[in-house]
Amino acid sequence: MSSILKISDLTFIYQNSKKASLQQINMDIHEGEFIGITGPTGAGKSTLALCMNGVIPHFYQGDFYGSVMVDQKDTVDNDCVALAGSIGSVFQDPEAQIVATVVEDEVAFGLENLNLPRYEMEERITTALEMTGISQLRNYSTARLSGGQKQRVAIAAAIALRPKILVLDEPTSELDPQGTLAIYETLKNLNELYGITVIIIEQKIQYLAEYCSRLVVLDKGKIAIEGPCREVLSRQDTLQGLGVNCPPVTQLAYMLKQKGLYHGEFPINVDEAYLVVSKVLQDKGRFQ
Ligand SMILES: Nc1ncnc2c1ncn2[C@@H]1O[C@H](COP(=O)(O)OP(=O)(O)OP(=O)(O)O)[C@@H](O)[C@H]1O
Ligand SMILES: [Mg+2]
């Protein structure tokens, strides 16, 4: 698989800030990956997302060292408009992202720069609204939307552009479990059907465990742990030390291990946890 986003020795210090918000970050993301980024508050996750989509260095002043190559384009030499076909974004605060007064116009907004034929624009808007479960909000005023609805509109607008990479910064923070699951399923479809590379920043680690192949944990502006999801989640002690909660099912297996009741791999979802618990009960002679 070829590299679609490559970060080399990235350090960023916001203007008027004494410490680096990102320090010596190196990442190589391949086309078609579904990658999760997590870490405690203030770790630098949003700053990293802003470096990926070019908002840094084009809209924030500061000291920028190293390089970020998005789809072969250096973000220092290419502004956000030049990068828009390659990378689409959902920002942590959808309020700051929404500019139009009507939902349909918000989703159409980015498309207008692409000079698409009318019918294709229409098709993309309809599909994006359907995929995010908000077709009924099409003619709503954006000012009247709830936080969760605004997040869905921001996701729809990003999806409609059909970029090669989607970077989403805590896109489901205001959604209930059902809404969160629906968004993850949509992202999974985009990833599997269209090969869109998904980079998602998330605190709800159980969703990352379920959907991502690779996990990056940031702490104090640096990469603290990185690797295949299962490998990262098996480092319970380190994660807890960083203040990152593991999925409850993984924590359960960890406790069983500590008691000497279980010795296998850590489960990362409910189905795997069921097998773990069955095995423990079987070993105890209490389960057929
Ligand atoms: N505009 C800014 N100017 C100066 N410092 C900033 C700015 N934005 C963020 N920071 C600082 O950079 C560091 C990383 O912040 P960032 O928002 O990237 O973290 P985060 O991991 O996204 O946190 P959260 O989980 O709370 O969203 C923090 O110390 C923060 O105070
Ligand atoms: Mg953030």
Q: Which residues constitute the domain of residue 279?
A: 247-288
SS (H, E, C) 110-121: HHHHHCCCHHHH
Q: Contact, 225 vs 238, CB < 8 A? A: yes
Confidence (pLDDT) at 236? 86
Tally of residues, the chain: 288
> How does pLDDT run across 159-180, given as a tens digit for each residue?
999 999 999 999 999 999 999 9
* Position 95 confidence tier, pLDDT thresholds 50, 70, 90: confident
Instruction: Give the Cα separation of 134 and 243 in Å (integer).
Output: 35
Instruction: Ligand 1: list residues with CB < 6 Å.
Output: 14, 17, 21, 39, 41-47, 92
- Identify the domain boundary among 237, 255, 277: 237
In a domain, 242, yes or no: no
DSSP state of 246: P
Share of the chain above pLDDT 70, in %: 99
Taking only the tens place, the pLDDT of each residue in 209-222 is 999 999 999 999 99
* CA dist 221 → 12, 28, 70, 80, 126 (Å): 9, 17, 20, 23, 39
Considering every ligand atom, which ligand is closest to the CA of 43? 1
Mean pLDDT of 15-26: 97
Q: What is the pTM of this model?
A: 0.94
- CB burial of 15-52 (b: ≥16 within 10 Å; e: otherwise) equals eeeeebbbbebebebeebbbbbbbbeeebbbbbbbbbb
Atom of ligand 1 nearest to the CA of 49: 18
CA dist 162 to 70, 166, 252, Å? 15, 9, 39
Q: Are residues 230 and 255 in the same domain?
A: no
Same-domain check for residues 25 and 109:
yes
106 and 51 in a single domain? The answer is: yes
